[in-house]
Structure 1
């Protein structure tokens, strides 16, 4: 994961696999990403494979951002992840940037 910041938003780029084998470690590493009143963008463009555990991780990040009072958006979600989100009817819950 790469963490970049600017004055407008905090951006984190996630790379590699988001699956049942590595989601717990990624969740632990994300502690502290969200701050009250701060916009955070999680760029999923580097995700090479995702399963339902990866989608569950997005839901955990949404919960963590809500608890912190932060705004969260996801960008560049791979088609595999979008398919799972659509199949599970989570499009209204997970704020994906649909432009990609």
Structure 2
């Protein structure tokens, strides 16, 4: 298990590193969303995620709800296949929150 960390790469750009799983998340990670409201556009790069489960997807949905309430545009990129497969079950992968790996463009809602 690799602890989940979120690293600020630049203005509005964050790298998620470690496991996006229930056991890797701590209370601070789950409760502190203020970093998401620092700018009007946020990109979360999930390329550093090793393992993911439904709790990781649930955290992503919470990030979406939070940024929506703050009128911040959120996008995810470099989504691991494991997490993408979970998102496909609900159609979340087809929303504008997911940046297509093939084209580099946003998916359409």
TM-score (ref. length: structure 1): 0.83
Residue-pair matches, total: 96
RMSD of aligned alpha carbons: 2.0
Q: Which runs of 4+ in 1 moved over 6 A?
A: none
Alignment-derived partner of residue 100 in structure 2: 98
Alignment-derived partner of residue 8 in structure 2: 3
Alignment-derived partner of residue 75 in structure 1: 77
TM-score (ref. length: structure 2): 0.77
Alignment-derived partner of residue 28 in structure 1: 31
Report the alpha carbon displacement of residue 94 of structure 1 after superposing the two structures with TM.
Answer: 6.5
Shift of the 80–94 alpha-carbon distance from structure 1 to 2, 3 Å rule, reads farther
Question: Which one scores higher on RCO, CA 8 angstroms, separation ≥ 6?
Answer: 1
The within-5 A match list for 1:49-64 is: 49-64=51-66
| 2:21 pairs with one of 9, 19, 22 | 19
